[in-house]
Amino acid sequence: MTIAERFYKVTKELPAPLLEELLDFAEFLRQRKTPGRQAENIAQRIHQRFANLEGEGLPIPTRQLSRMPPQWDR
């Protein structure tokens, strides 16, 4: 069995979200191995990936930051 056949066998059973991740990774590998190719804007890729994410009404926990360093027992 060739690598392409094994790849097809594995991927035909994956759900769509995992296939999207796999495609992103394959494109990353192709971009990394292709000399002279312009790198895509990572911020644009992130924006596209989360464009349909709805966050309205989600509770945001309050952050409690300590402005003093921890007191170590001496």
Domain count across the chain: 1
Q: How confident is the model at residue 2 (pLDDT cuts 50, 70, 90)?
A: very high
Mean pLDDT for the stretch of residues 60-68? 72
CA distance 47 to 53: 10
Domain housing 23: 15-49
Which range scores top for mean pLDDT: 13-27, 37-51, 53-67? 13-27
Is position 30 within any domain?
yes
CA–CA separation, 15 and 17 (whole Å): 6
Confirm whether 5 is domain-assigned: no
Residue 25 in any domain: the answer is yes
The model's pTM: 0.42
